[in-house]
Amino acid sequence: MLTYVYDTYVKTKDGRLMHFDVIIDKKDDAKAIEYAKEWLNSIGEKDVKISSKECQFCHSEVASPEIEKEIKNKGYYIYKMEGCP
């Protein structure tokens, strides 16, 4: 499965920088932002500012089986990097 990776940087409520990728199955900026917000809400970061400035398309790649399964189940996969719980 070909996926689309959105590089995302946000500031948390307490001012920390969080860096993660939103990986989805089609190039759709609005969906990537929607999924980023959904994930942020799920970890208690409801009021974080996120727009196309913070969540930008980066590249396409073939998904691993784990990522593909998560996308089929949830619609997206979050690849956590800096400052993520």
What is the sign, positive or negative, of the torsion defined by CA atoms of 77, 82, 84, 85?
positive
Question: Among all chains, which residue has been given the structure tokens 């969906």?
Answer: 31
Note the pLDDT tens digit of each residue in 22-57.
999 999 999 999 999 999 999 999 989 899 999 999
User: Quick one: pLDDT at residue 43?
Assistant: 96
Task: Calculate mean pLDDT across residues 61-65.
Answer: 97
Task: Calculate mean pLDDT across residues 64-80.
Answer: 97
User: Quick one: pLDDT at residue 61?
Assistant: 98
CA dihedral 14, 82, 72, 27 (to 10 degrees): 90
Task: Calculate mean pLDDT across residues 6-14.
Answer: 95
